[in-house]
Structure 1
């Protein structure tokens, strides 16, 4: 894989924006980078997924220190019980489809991004009591599969956690921790399969400083928008990305 001078800069801009957005909202880095950079051919999709895993870990490493007291620990173990094993299933499926059915990969990615956009806009009904551990395991399993497939572990966990009668600050930091673990497990599995190459490491090296910059900006300079306005703007962006990917996959 070779890059023209324009490709790294465009990729870096996307990575910076995604890092900012993830820090402000608690999720979204994977959907933005994969949808724009991987889905539209700026970089190969399988490489972009690995880079997103590493970027997510960097984002969380800068967003979480000093804030672990805001993590809702009682639900973490139950979530990871479902999350970790299904990550491997998702990685293996992506490897298979990338070799045999790339158009299906684009359609699936578009569908996941559209689902993520819709889930972002909808406001879950808050339950009266915190759900049982088994439910966190089930939703962790769904998120692990999507995380292994596209490094988009967010939508199922976001939906489930925001239904809980918990402080929003606790939910956001718990999600950041879970996404960091998900990305770490996926990265270790990819390394174990020998899929980590110099091209991916080069992309990641370019991405690290801009993700850090985006994280810093998001942590210290959040947008002067209401939460509902921000959700609507991002919904429109994700729907446009997702529908474009679905259309391109179906027309291939």
Structure 2
């Protein structure tokens, strides 16, 4: 990476962290979408860097909030997400090695679909959610984590339908993200596909992630929650379509 690409990635990571702090998710999706559009690095390497940044950010958050984690739900989610994470990782490896255009289409579709709950957030349900539902959404989360280090959307949707407190939901989700990122990093190292040293300067984005998180807490935009959700929806849809449509046109030619 040259200096311009490093600066660009660091700024994109800070912006994604800012949005995530306001909305509760979208860090990985926004950053992967921005990388896909700008081509500052290969998507496979970007997923590793995003995972490291997610692990770092989650570690900071959990130093104070780990006591609020919903442990039984966390175990259920991990039971299905961790095996599917490995499946998602090797699917990414296959697509990155054999069809980069298809990889861009998959990422674009995932981003667009994941943005849809922003239009109509899930309504809370006082009835207890079944164990199978946690296993199902955990599996979806694991696949997305393995593919793009973006395990949030399925679980954010599912947990926010529950009657648990916002703090408990947030800390449980952060715990899932951290553990998924840690296991994915172990798989990457074991598979020998950690990014080349030329991409390591992108890890400087830990500072912009910290700055973006603090900025969102202290200086949120003067927008209503509804307007904020629509803005993020447009950002996600725009990036997803920008990735998927050109690749789809090229394949269909």
TM over 0.5: yes
Aligned to 2:212: 214
Summarize the alignment of residues 108-187 of structure 1 with structure 2, pairs less than 5 Å apart.
108-187=106-185
1:99 to 94, 97, 100: 97
**Unpaired segments of 5 or more residues in structure 2?**
none
Could you state the TM-score of these two structures normalised by the residue count of structure 1? 0.92
Aligned to 1:251: 249
Distance 1:69 1:221, change over 3 A: farther
Secondary structure at the residue paired with 2:64? Answer: coil
Could you state the TM-score of these two structures normalised by the residue count of structure 2? 0.92
CA shift, 1:222, in A, is: 3.7
Q: Answer whether contact 2:37 2:242 (CA < 8 A) is retained.
A: no
CA shift, 1:229, in A, is: 2.1
Q: Answer whether contact 2:85 2:146 (CA < 8 A) is retained.
A: yes
Aligned CA-pair RMSD: 1.6
Secondary structure at the residue paired with 2:182? Answer: helix
Query: Mean Cα displacement is larger for which, 21-30 or 214-223?
Result: 214-223
Q: Answer whether contact 1:157 1:175 (CA < 8 A) is retained.
A: yes
Q: Alpha-carbon deviations, 1:147-185, whole Å to 9, x = none?
A: 101112112111111111122232222211111111111
Q: Answer whether contact 2:36 2:243 (CA < 8 A) is retained.
A: no
CA shift, 1:40, in A, is: 3.3
Structure 1: which 4+ aligned runs deviate by more than 6 Å? Answer: none
Q: Answer whether contact 1:106 1:248 (CA < 8 A) is retained.
A: no
Aligned to 1:190: 188
Q: Answer whether contact 1:50 1:200 (CA < 8 A) is retained.
A: no
Q: Alpha-carbon deviations, 1:112-147, whole Å to 9, x = none?
A: 000111122222132222212221111101110011
Q: Answer whether contact 2:137 2:154 (CA < 8 A) is retained.
A: yes
Q: Answer whether contact 2:26 2:153 (CA < 8 A) is retained.
A: no
CA shift, 1:22, in A, is: 2.2
Q: Distance in 2 between matches of 1:39 and 1:120?
A: 22
Secondary structure at the residue paired with 1:66? Answer: helix
Q: Distance in 2 between matches of 1:18 and 1:131?
A: 31
Aligned to 2:9: 11
Aligned to 1:45: 43
Summarize the alignment of residues 26-105 of structure 1 with structure 2, pairs less than 5 Å apart.
26-105=24-103
Aligned to 1:202: 201
Q: Distance in 2 between matches of 1:66 and 1:10?
A: 31
**Unpaired segments of 5 or more residues in structure 1?**
none
CA shift, 1:202, in A, is: 2.8
Q: Alpha-carbon deviations, 1:34-76, whole Å to 9, x = none?
A: 0011343121111111000001011112223212233222311
Q: Distance in 1 between matches of 2:89 and 2:207?
A: 26
Query: Mean Cα displacement is larger for which, 69-78 or 185-194?
Result: 69-78
